[in-house]
Structure 1
Amino acid sequence: MIIESYRENAEIYHGDSLCKQKSIELLQELSLPKGLLPLDDLVEVGYNRPAGFVWLRQKKARQHVFRKIGRNVSYATDVTAFVENRRMKKMTGVKSKELLLWITLSDMYIDDPASGKITFKTPTGLSRTFPVSAFELEEEKK
């Protein structure tokens, strides 16, 4: 498994509340929207800074609907990516539903922060661009 090869030299966190906090801090550090990884029951988050490799492990796969753009996204139990400022590359474990098909997402990036747009790419090179605001953290419902 790819995660095991990056454990050495990685910051590793355990427990749902700490992992959620660290995943949000990571997204902030990368200048990405804080609601981009709405995962539940996180058991582990790891970040190997020298390699730029991140992983998030949750108890079970999860689907989430980004209401502002009407997109259903599926997150596997393990989500991994190589990260840099405003970008996640070689992602695994993330799929988006297009019509009736689940499409694997491999990259996401914000080329120009002033544009307010984030682009998602598939391994075949197809891409879609959405407003960054659609992926902001949804506040807890009271």
Structure 2
Amino acid sequence: MASGGTARDQDERAGAEIVHGSEECYRHSVELLAELGFPRGVLPLQDLEECGRVRETGFVWMKQKAPSEHFFTGTNSRVSYATEVTAYVEKLKMKKMTGIKSKQVFLWVPITEMSMEDAASKKIYFKTPMGIGKSFPITAFMTEEEKAEVYGEGK
């Protein structure tokens, strides 16, 4: 498979830690979300093939075999994920995100940032390129396992 990346892509990815394969990528993405302070279910990407991270710049990418959609029942919203999702990450924040859109009424709106105020925050704030945003409860993006760990449900 040809990369077809631009020189900018190559520069952006210089010095990256790259993992391949579904299991390694899943583990990598879960570890990344935990390190940043986000719940594991906030990026439900499927059939990941490649994940990369440039620690110096915070640039990350995740490639799936095909675009996917996910319906978050906790927010009553449908979200689409392109074959490749990219972002610049720091603690409690993902910015300059690409490849993620949320369906609002009849329109697909790009999501370019998600953040939390602090580690104890109960909400995640999502922002569009126009700077308009919306907060949702963190529990809407937690996996069932996380809810059990945090709230002792299912004991």
Taking structure 2 as the reference length, the TM-score comes to 0.85
* Residue number in structure 2 paired with 1:105: 111
1:3–1:65 Cα change, 3 Å: farther
For structure 1, the residue ranges without an aligned partner over 5 or more in a row are: none
Give the corresponding residue for 2:58: 52
State which of 54, 72, 76 in structure 2 corresponds to 1:70.
76
Bigger Rg, structure 1 or 2: 2
- Of 17, 31, 35, the residue aligned with 1:29 is 35
**Is the Cα–Cα contact under 8 Å of residues 3 and 55 in structure 1 kept in the other structure?**
no
Match of 2:151 in 1: none
Task: Check the 8 A contact 1:12/1:46 in 2, yes or no.
Answer: yes
SS in 2 for 1:35: helix
Residue 99 of structure 1 deviates from its aligned partner by: 0.5
Name the structure, 1 or 2, with higher relative contact order (CA <8 Å, separation 6+).
Answer: 1
Percent identical: 50
Question: In the TM superposition, what is the alpha-carbon distance from 1:130 to its structure 2 partner?
Answer: 0.2
What is residue 116 of structure 1 aligned with on the other side?
122
Q: Which has the higher helix share?
A: 2
Task: List aligned pairs for 1:1-20, cutoff 5 A.
Answer: 1=6, 3-20=9-26
Question: How far apart in 1 are the matches of 2:28 and 2:143?
Answer: 14
Aligned partners of 2:13 and 2:59 also within 8 Å:
no
Distance 1:127 1:84 in 2: 19
Give the total of aligned pairs.
139
CA contact (8 A) 2:92 2:118 kept: no
TM-score by length of 1: 0.93
